[in-house]
Chains A and B, each alone.
Chain A
Amino acid sequence: MELFVFVCASVMVLVGALGVIFRKHPVHAALSLVLTLFGIAVLFVAQSAEFLAAVQVIVYAGAIVILFLFVIMLLGVDKAENLQIEPLTGLRWIAGVVGLGMVGLLTTAVVSGSDVLRLRGLGIANSVAGENADANIQQLANSIFSDYVFAFEVTSVLLVVAVVGTVLLARRRTGKGIA
């Protein structure tokens, strides 16, 4: 069963990722990105990270892709690009070679390092329905709000800075005054 889920989700992820690179239309690329993000969410569920799967769907597929689509519509670039023109001669070939080399290197590293993956921590609670259905959320909350509570507070500052910066950047300049 886990194999079936893994194969289906991998096909979703890879088809979506290839769609992001190869679709001419930016809107189609954004929709392919949604497919990839859903596949990653399925893989999160398969690895008993239910909370992250929910956050993945809500934040990435729900917010970030919608933001992409808004910007595509706002800029009016929702027309197909001509992908026949190569910006630099030989760029595609070099990029393909670099990509294959990266796959090879990373795969070699992962396979040769796979025996390092031993049990080390305290264990991850499985969310079994009926017993303790939100064990994953409780455990993650224990980690975030005890070990990483300072980093958590800093992320709130980061989000405020991001909001203010975006408002300043995307604001239309009106005559005099700052920005």
Chain B
Amino acid sequence: MFGLVVVPTPTWYLVLSAVLFSIGAVGVLVRRNPLVMFMCIELMLNAVNLTFVTVGRAMSDINGQAIVFFVMVVAAAEVVVGLGIIVSIMRRRSGVNVDDLTELKG
């Protein structure tokens, strides 16, 4: 038993990234602080990146890593714009709670 070398298969990585994605999704549902919700979105993006790299290696295809590169660029742009929006919203109100933002409610 101990002589057996267990090598993690791609399925292990994919299950790990599934768990990570679900933790991020639950975080978006549970937390009400917009900054923490943004961090949970980052968690989900990272889970997807891990999936891309894993599948890319399993299929021996470098384009998986190329897509992760583009995902990182878009994530950086998304964080910058999102934090700009949060700053400009929160400058005129004190608390940070997304449930208070109901101006657009019909």
Contact = CB atoms under 8 A, between A and B. Distances in A.
B30 to A, nearest CB: 5
Given A3-B6, A21-B27, A158 B14 contact: no
Interface residues of A, number: 84
Interface in A86-126: 87, 91-92, 94-96, 98-100, 102-103, 106-107, 110-111, 114, 117-124
Contacts of B32: 81, 87
A128 interface: no
A40 B45 CA distance: 11
Q: Is the interface of A mostly helix, strand, loop or mixed?
A: helix
B35 to A, nearest CB: 5
A163 B73 CA distance: 13
A178 B83 CA distance: 21
A151 B84 contact: no
Given A91-B29, A95-B29, A120-B60, A17 B68 contact: no
B28 to A, nearest CB: 9
A41 to B, nearest CB: 10
Given A99-B25, A124-B62, 20 more contacts: A3-B6, A14-B16, A17-B23, A20-B23, A20-B27, A20-B40, A21-B30, A29-B39, A87-B97, A95-B26, A102-B18, A110-B18, A114-B11, A120-B60, A143-B62, A151-B70, A158-B77, A166-B80, A166-B83, A169-B88
